[in-house]
Structure formats: structure tokens, C-alpha cells
Amino acid sequence: MVANTGSTYTFAEKVKVVEANFEDAESLKTALTDQDAVVSTVGDKGVIAQQLLIDASIAAGVKRFLPSNFSSNMSNHKTRKLPIFKSKVAVEDYLIEKSKTSDLTYTFVYNWGLTDFAIQRKVIMDFSKYQPTIFNRGDSQFSCTRHANCWKDRSRCPDLCRRNSESSCLLLQKYVFTQNQILALAKKIAPNNPWAPLDVDLNVVVAGALERLAQGQHDLPTVIPILLKSIVDEEYGFKFVKNDNELLGIKEKGEEYLTELLTPSLN
């Protein structure tokens, strides 16, 4: 594990931690020397800084780089044009170009959405007043996983990369749902609640969000509608037509997981 110099984050005892200055290419190179692969887990604020990490990986002789771009299906050209993914797309493009002139290869991992995060943070649906918003009739299927699986799946990728030296894109999913399926299950869990779902045109909501974004607003009420566009709009490729679950030994789950996740927020 490479931690930024001065970080106070506490890791488990069995984790070997090396400190590096994330703004210094030479410091990063030293930390990455003798490593076969780099799995980046930086947050949104550090996404574009991965370009320096990529340069340091090349200098250190790293063979495979997995950027911290796990999210919506950015292999879809429409998703790549959404402004909230601008930095992630820039990192992918940078990595692709660098791989053409070095021995560094890459793996892009797409596994959105993080269902537990999306429901707990009321991104997909807000059940607090029993008036969840249903976008575009609610029948669009979308692929998703849970937060813990996201990290577990990524930790398996370096071993897969050793067996396959080519650059690649992995599409991973643990579940496939629609908003209507989630709502039906919520009603089943709490049948006596005064359910009154609201049908909303997502395009109208997104248009307002894009206008605010252009004016410099970057808060969650602005970002979430654009994020939802990449989740519930079928043209944005959010139900993976094919996936790479078998390569990593991932088994899909169904309603039992969703029931477990929804119940605390409905009782």
C-alpha cells in the first residue's frame, strides 16, 4: 500500500505501507519499484493526479495499471461525454497513449453502481417520505455491485493480469435491477406505508443539472442527476450486454441481497 506522505490513515497490521509524495514523480517511482501492478484507489479529487502516478509507474517498470475509474460504463461513447466523467476520461486517454510508447498495459474496471451506497445516500431512490422518484417509467435495467465487492473484485485483477498480458476492459456486475423492481420489493417489505411514487422525466432534471454545472455548481444535487443519466438511461449502456464475472469468479445475486439492504431504511 502506498500512502501519501504524512497521511494519518490507519491500516491493518498485516498491510505493508510505503509513504510517497504524490506530487513528486521521483518519490512515487521509488515507492513503485519492483511492483508488477498498480491498483489506484484515489478519490474524485485525486483522479487527474493519476497522470503523474502513471508516469512514475512507467519509470519504475510497472507492467499493469488499473486507474481509479471504476464507475459507470465508460466504454459507452455517450457516457464518456458526460461532464462529470471528464477527468476520468482524460486519465483513460492518457493511459492509452502512454501504453503505446512504453511497456505499461492497463485494465479498466467498470462495475457501477454501488448499490449499498446509492440506496443509503438516496441516489437511486429516496424512501424517506415513501414518494420515491421513478425516472422514465422505471423499467430500465442497470448493472450494479456493492461497495465491499468493488474492492474485492479489484484485488483479484492483478492475478488475472499476470495470466493475460494484454490491455483490457472488465465489465463486472453482482446484480441487475430496475427502479420498479426495487420499488416492488420495498412495498413488499413495508406494505402498510403510504406509497406514492413520482414519475419524472429524467431529461428535464438533467438539463437543469447541466445548467447549474456550467455555472460552477458541483454539489451533490447537481452531480447526482447527471450520474443517474448514466445509470437508468438505456442508451448509456448501463446494463452490461456481456460481463466478465466468470474471469474473476463472481457469482450474481438477486432479491435476497436487496431485501437485506432495503429493510433497515423502511422499518
Residue 153 is predicted with a pLDDT of 55
State percent of the chain over pLDDT 90.
Answer: 49
Residue 141 is predicted with a pLDDT of 85
Location of C-alpha cell 509507474: 57
Q: Indicate the helix (H) or strand (E) that contains 170.
A: strand 168-171
Provide the phi-psi class of 122: left if phi over 0, else alpha when psi is between -120 and 50, else beta: left
**Mean pLDDT value across the chain:** 86
Instruction: Confirm if 187 and 258 have CB atoms less than 8 A apart.
Output: no
Confidence check: pLDDT of 240 > 90: no
Q: How far apart are CA 244 and CA 242, in angstroms?
A: 7
- In 21-157, which ranges are E strands? 37-39, 64-66, 105-110, 133-135, 142-144
Burial label for 16, CB within 10 Å (0-12, 13-18, 19+), is exposed
pTM confidence score: 0.86
Q: What residues contact 119, with CB distance under 8 A and at least 6 apart?
A: 125, 182, 261, 262, 265
Q: How far apart are CA 84 and CA 52, in angstroms?
A: 21
Q: How far apart are CA 102 and CA 182, in angstroms?
A: 46
- Separation in Å, CA 229 to CA 76, 176, 260, 261: 12, 17, 26, 23
Burial label for 46, CB within 10 Å (0-12, 13-18, 19+), is middle
Cα distance between the two ends of the chain: 40
Residue 192 is predicted with a pLDDT of 94
Confidence of residue 168 (pLDDT cuts 50, 70, 90): confident
What's the pLDDT tens digit per position in 7-36? Answer: 888 888 888 999 999 999 999 999 999 999
Q: Indicate the helix (H) or strand (E) that contains 51.
A: helix 50-60
What's the pLDDT tens digit per position in 179-199? Answer: 999 999 999 999 999 999 999
What's the pLDDT tens digit per position in 119-165? Answer: 877 888 888 889 999 998 999 888 777 666 555 555 655 665 565 66
Confidence of residue 6 (pLDDT cuts 50, 70, 90): confident
Mean pLDDT of 212-228: 93
Least confident of 40-54, 95-109, 158-172: 158-172
Domains of the chain: 2-266 (3.40.50.720)
Q: What is the DSSP string of 191-206?
A: TTS----EEE-HHHHH
Residue 123 is predicted with a pLDDT of 82
Residue 112 is predicted with a pLDDT of 66
What's the pLDDT tens digit per position in 54-80? Answer: 999 999 999 999 998 776 788 889 999
Residue 103 is predicted with a pLDDT of 95
Amino acid at site 160: L
Residue 148 is predicted with a pLDDT of 61
